[in-house]
Amino acid sequence: ADYKVVIVGATGAVGQEILQVLAERNFPVGELKLCATARSAGKEIFFKGKSYTVEETTPASFDGMDIALFAGGAASKEFGPLAAEKGVVVIDNSSHFRLDPQVPLVVPEVNPEDVKEHRGIIANPNCSTIIMVVPLKAIYDAAGIKRVVVSTYQAVSGAGAEGITELTEHTRAVLDGKEVIPAKFQYQIAFNLIPHIDVFQEMDYTKEEWKMVKETRKILHDDTVGITATTVRVPVYRSHSESINVETKRKITVDEAKKVLADFPGVVVEDDPANKKYPMPLFTSEKDDVFVGRIRQDNSLDNALNMWVVADQLRKGAATNAVQIAELVIKYGCLGKR
């Protein structure tokens, strides 16, 4: 069977990546509709060699459609529930519905069955959460998790196409000895690190840091897991990196951890220090796996491990995960309530 798919936010970085992934995975698209704000309406986009004209998102955009992939942003709040009312299955990459108890928050390798609980909307987790929770689940199943300490090194693509452009422009400006005027980021991102992603909230953590805590607990269905995060923007184009320390309930050796990680779907272990083998954002971009290396016993705590995790923010962190959720909707036969 083929499905009627509408992409909302088709012209942005994530929207473009969703189209790319749909084509690569040969998703059964029968009819395709590309929507965006009025500002982007009229643009021509190609999908599988066929030309599509982007139209402005309106309530009528969802009539008769089967699946709506929202790339993120304000459109989700305005049109998500409306599309679901029309019987369309909404897969939303914005943060708006992620913590809603009625909305499953899904990483297909971690909690696929949750898709079956949807009532019209399924939320795609935050990119830094997805990248962390995939390897964490392997450790969680093998040894239980007491506490996680994570520091992230997040690519500029997390801030969309403008973020990518700003890294290029800032770098060029600095090298040309010109003044840098930050727009997408709080400060110059070239040759700098900015420990501030999204807004500051309670206890002076940012919303990005709270997302990693709350979303991970929801996905694992376990509020006893302690998590503390520091999220940082770094001058890298499109892969997020994360330094993770995980304290486990039961002892797990480095060799056991390497095995359960290597056996876990969607994880590639790249860990051979003697041969300088470890994941780096320069080499993980455009890929769908989560790469794990630098796996070590924590020298200061018995039941704890360190690991270095890297994955493409636009793909596994957003577009690929969303398309994998759409594949599960079809696999489980839980399309919208007509």
* Of 71, 159, 261, 325, the one binding ligand 2RA by CB under 6 A: 159
**Alpha helix (H) residue ranges in the chain:** 13-24, 75-85, 127-143, 160-175, 207-220, 254-263, 281-284, 320-331
DSSP three-state, residue 201: coil
154 is in an annotated binding site: yes
Residue 124 binds ligand 2RA, judged by CB under 6 A: no
Residue 170 sits at φ, ψ, to 5 deg, of -65, -40
Whether 324 has a binding-site annotation, put simply, is no
Q: Is 128 in the site for ligand 2RA (CB under 6 A)?
A: yes
Four-CA torsion 17, 19, 24, 30, nearest 10 degrees: 160
Closest CA to 307 of 136, 129, 127: 136
Measured in whole angstroms, the distance separating CA 267 from the mean position of its chain's CA atoms is 15
Cβ atoms within 10 A of the Cβ of 218, count? 24
Q: Minimum distance from CB of 313 to ligand 2RA (Å)? A: 6
Stretch that binds ligand 2RA, among 22-30, 125-133, 217-225, 262-270 (CB under 6 A): 125-133
Catalytic residue among 35, 118, 127, 170: 127
Q: Is 158 in the site for ligand 2RA (CB under 6 A)?
A: yes
Instruction: Say if residue 98 carries a ligand binding annotation.
Output: yes
Instruction: Tell whether 157 is in a known binding site.
Output: yes
Q: Is 127 a catalytic residue?
A: yes
Count, in order, helices (H) and strands (E) of the chain.
8, 14
- Catalytic (active site) residue 240: yes
127 scored as a contact of ligand 2RA (CB under 6 A): yes
The residue among 121 and 319 lying less far from ligand 2RA, judged by its C-beta, is 319
Neighbours of 226 (CB within 10 A): 13
Helix, strand and coil percent figures for the chain, each rounded to 5: 35, 25, 35
> Binders of ligand 2RA among 203-262, rule CB under 6 A?
208
Contact segment (CB under 6 A) with ligand 2RA among 23-31, 110-118, 154-162, 174-182 equals: 154-162
Q: For residue 24, give every residue at least 6 positions away whose Cβ sits within 8 Å of its Cβ, in sequence order, or none.
A: none
Q: Does residue 154 interact with ligand 2RA by CB under 6 A?
A: yes
163 annotated among ligand-binding-site residues: no
**Binding-site residues:** 11-14, 39-40, 98, 154, 157-158, 233, 313
Residues involved in catalysis: 127, 240
**Binding-site residues for NADP(+):** 11-14, 39-40, 157-158, 313
Contacts with ligand 2RA by CB under 6 A lie at 126-128, 154, 158-159, 197, 208
**Binding-site residues for substrate:** 154, 233
